[in-house]
Amino acid sequence: MYVEILRMEKDIRAIRKLLIIMIVTLVLYLLKVLSIIFVPLVFALFGALVFMPLLRWFQRRKIPNIFGLLLVLLFIAGGLKVGYEVVRYSGKELASSNKDFYAKFDKKLNDVIHPVMDFIGIEAEEGESDLEALLHSEKFTANVFGNVGNTLNFTRKFVSMLLMTIFFMILLLAGSVNIQKVMELLIFKQRFSSIKTFRQIEQDILKFIVVKFILSLFTGIGFGIACYSFGVSFPFFWGLFAFLINFIQMIGSVISVIVLSAFALVELDQTGTLLFFVLIIAGIQILFGGILEPILMGKSFSINTVTVLIMLALWGFIWGIPGLILSIPITALIKKILEQFPGTAVYARIMS
C-alpha cells in the first residue's frame, strides 16, 4: 500500500511537471503571436518603473497626480524631440560628405564586389563600374525593392509600437493598473512581500536603465572621438550607431566594432593605423561594457553568462530586436520573483 502511494505521488509530480512545460510553451507561443501588444506593454512596464519614484514623491507632498503625469509627458516629448534632432543631424552628416569619399568608397567597394560579380555571372559593360553593373542587375534591383518594402514595414511597426508604449506607460502611471497590487494577487500572498519585492525590482530596473544609458552614451562618444581623430567619415553617425546598438546586451558591442572596423577599411589605408583604430574602439567597448558595467551594476542582477546567452536566444527568437533589448531586464524580473519562494529559489541560484 505504501509503495502504491509513493508511485501515485511520483506520477502526480511527473504530470505536474508536464503540465508546467505545456503551460510555459503555450505562454511563450502567445507572447510571440501577440508580440504587437506584449512588446509595447513590457517596454511600458519598465518605463513606468523608472518614473514611479517621482510620482510617489509627488504623492508624499500632497501634489495631485496629474502634475506628475504632465511632467512625465513633457520628459517623453523632450526625449523624442532630442532623438529626432540627433537622427536629423546624423542624416545631414551623411548627406554632406564630399566627392573624394564616395570615389574612394566606390574604388574599395569595386574591389570587394568584383569576385562576387564573377561568382554571380554579371559582367560590367564598357565604361561601367562593377558597382553600377550590380545596381543595374535585375536580381539585385528586385532584392533592393524587397528590402525597401521591409524597411517601410519595420518603420511602420516601430512607430505604432512607440505610440502604444507611450499609451500603456501613461495608463500604468495613472494607476489604471496597479502593478504592485497585481503582483500581490497573482504571485505573492502577503502584502509586505509584494511591496518589498516590487521595490527591489523597481530599484534594480532603474539602476540597470540608468547605468546602461550612461555607459552607452560614453561608448558612443568614444566611438565618435575615435572616428574624428583617425579621420574616419561620419563620426557623429558612428557615435549614434554605437550608442543605440549597445543596448543589445553582449551582441551589440561586437556588432558595432565589426561594422565600424569594416567601414574603416575604406579610409584607413595603412595596416598599422587600421589595426590601432580597431584596438581603440575594441578597448572602448571592453572598458565600458566589460569592466565598468559589471562594477556599477554590482549585485543588482548577478546573472551568469550562460543564462544571459540562453535568454538572449530565447527572447530574440520570440520578439526579435526588442527581445534582445528586453532580455536582461525580463531575466532579472524572473530571477527576483523566483528568489522569493523556497521551491524555486534553487533555480534563481542556478541563474546567478
String of DSSP letters for 22-60:
HHHHHHHHHHHHTHHHHHHHHHHHHHHHHHHHHHHHHHH
Task: Give just the sign of the alpha carbon dihedral 141, 145, 148, 154.
Answer: negative
pLDDT score for 102: 59
CA distances to 41, 64, 205 from 37, rounded to whole Å, are: 6, 30, 21
Whole-number pLDDT of residue 148? 47
Q: Is residue 45 a contact partner of residue 35, using CB atoms and an 8 Å limit?
A: no
Grid cell at residue 44: 511600458
All cell numbers assigned to 114:
568584383
Give residue 240's Cα distance to chain centre: 14
**251 in Cβ contact with 240 (< 8 Å):** no
pLDDT of residue 20: 75
Residue 73 makes CB contacts below 8 A (sequence gap 6+) with: 170
pTM score of the predicted model = 0.74
According to the model, what pLDDT value does residue 204 have?
A: 77
Low-confidence ranges of the chain (pLDDT < 50): 144-145, 148
Amino acid 342: pLDDT:
73
pLDDT, tens digit (0-9, with 9 covering 90-100), for 65-80? 777 778 878 888 888 8
Give residue 84's pLDDT: 79
* Segments making up each domain of the chain, as ranges: 34-177, 178-300
pLDDT of residue 145: 47
pLDDT, one tens digit per residue, over 229-246 is 888 878 888 888 888 888
Task: Categorise residue 123: left if φ over 0, alpha if ψ from -120 to 50, beta otherwise.
Answer: beta
Q: Is the CB of residue 39 less than 8 Å from the CB of residue 319?
A: yes
Burial string for 44-82 (b: 16+ CB within 10 Å, else e) reads bbbbbbbbbeebeebeeeeeeeeebbeebeeebeeeeee
